[in-house]
Amino acid sequence: MAQLNPDLNAVSVTLADEARREAAERDTALAAGETPGPLHGVPVAIKEELDVAGCVTTFGGRANSTPAAADGEVVRRLRAAGAVIVAKSTMSEFGAAPYTESVALGITRNPWDPTRTPGGSSGGTAVMVASGMVPVGIGGDGGGSIRIPSACCGLFGLKPQRGRVSSAPHAHLWHALGTAGPLARSVLDSAIVYDVIRGSLDSDDFHAGDAPSFVEAAGREPGALRIGWSAKPVMLGTRPDPIQVRALMETARLLADLGHDVFEIDPKYPDPSVAFVPQFFAGVRAEADEVEHYGRLERRTHQIYRLGAWVRPPVLEFALRQTEKVSRKANRIFDRCDVLLTPTIAHRPPEVGILDGIGQVRAGWRSLPVMAYVALWNVAGNPAASVPCGLAEDGLPTAIQLVGRTDDEATLFSLAAQIEKARPWPLIADPAATVRP
């Protein structure tokens, strides 16, 4: 971590002393005959929006100054399973941008090419995992923020069903949009972590339905599935890069060779903006209202706060009702297929500094290509995963997105594991690429 991070800027807080003490406690318990947990001794990084006891929860900015008194529920469950929390990771302030750049924490760089972005907002976690600093890390996804950096950095990143993972101590993360989850180098690693952290509490606003063990799902064949593919983005006016379309088509052919019924499909996407936009503004405003030093927020965050002033409680209630309608319309596609296959992002990871010196309106416009396929599924609530497809000629990873039925993460884990076995992807970025040119 000490060797790699200076060139990548993925670590916001290093917990070296705390991690050593925690690891020693794990060893002592093991020597005393205690049964090790499934994550015994595994070093894990935590995104800045999640509470870690003793650390300031910065949300990627400077507006908080008091350390959290207790772990959030996800972190508590990780520790209970034997994990060792070694660091917190960078993010854009409040995760409001899908690029990991902030005034407080600076620019985070892609380990495959440090001149390029790792995506966001869980970009710090993605870089730590992809560069080999940690084997797995926790991010959050309110509009693609697990899947986008996974696609940019060559990782497996699954957004679970809404309500699958507790948001405690908060009742929700951006209302119906957000969830926490791991970014990992393999499907099985992700499944192991999810089986540890899954499960909602009574205090959570949202609760997922029943689902089998994800580890078991990752270890079994998916069977012959109906897989509909489409390069059509949800957001009109976005044209996918030919490299992304090629990765999609190559994956479709691979799946056909593996015995699945693969066919092009018109998803007939509903417009999610009437549900997504109010919840985005309301989510950022709610987090901004809770910080200790409002005046220290970034200029763009202040702009978001002002731009979202129209999202009063009746508007938010309307947006949540629209979420249910969008979900019903989006899920009609699963009358015709078992899994939807799309690109994860539309363009190649752009050069770092893409948000430098611009306001929120232009920043939102520049964010559209990375959100064009992913944000709908935050509104609909369905599980969706970014699956690596190897490296393109530009030296950067490619990826596709698998979207499943409501509560059907298991099928995505089985199918992604089959893809991984048939077409293994690079696990760690080339160390030579971590030296900035």
User: 12 in a domain, yes or no?
Assistant: no
Catalytic sites, residue numbers:
47, 121, 145
> How many domains in the chain?
1
Joined tokens for residue 248: 């999609």
Residue 149 to residues 99, 258, 303, 437: CA-CA distances in angstroms?
A: 8, 28, 25, 22
Residue 179 belongs to some domain of the structure: yes
pLDDT beyond 80 at 433: no
- What is the CATH number for 269? 3.90.1300.10
Domain presence at residue 285 = yes
Specify if 435 maps to a domain: no
Q: Is residue 164 part of a domain?
A: yes
Give tens-digit pLDDT for 190-228: 999 999 999 999 999 999 999 999 999 999 999 999 999
**5 found inside a domain:** no
Residue 332 pLDDT > 90: yes
Q: Do the bridges between strand 339-343 and strand 226-229 make them parallel or antiparallel, or are there none, so unpaired?
A: parallel
Cα(325)–Cα(275) distance, integer angstroms: 9
In whole angstroms, how far apart are CA 304 and each of 82, 145, 284? Answer: 39, 18, 8
Q: What is the pLDDT of residue 235?
A: 86
Report yes or no on whether pTM surpasses 0.85: yes
Q: Is the pLDDT at 180 greater than 60, yes or no?
A: yes
Residue ranges making up the domain that contains 370: 17-425
- The pLDDT of residue 335 is 98
236: pLDDT confidence band, cut at 50, 70 and 90? confident
Distance CA 292, CA 239 (A): 41
pLDDT of 326: 97
> What is the Cβ-side half-sphere exposure of residue 1, based on CA atoms within 13 angstroms?
21
Let me know if residue 317 belongs to a domain.
Answer: yes
Question: Is 4 within the bounds of a domain?
Answer: no
Sheet holding 136-141, edge to edge: 11-14, 84-89, 43-47, 136-141, 179-184, 156-159, 384-391, 397-404, 339-343, 226-229, 261-264
pLDDT at 237: 85
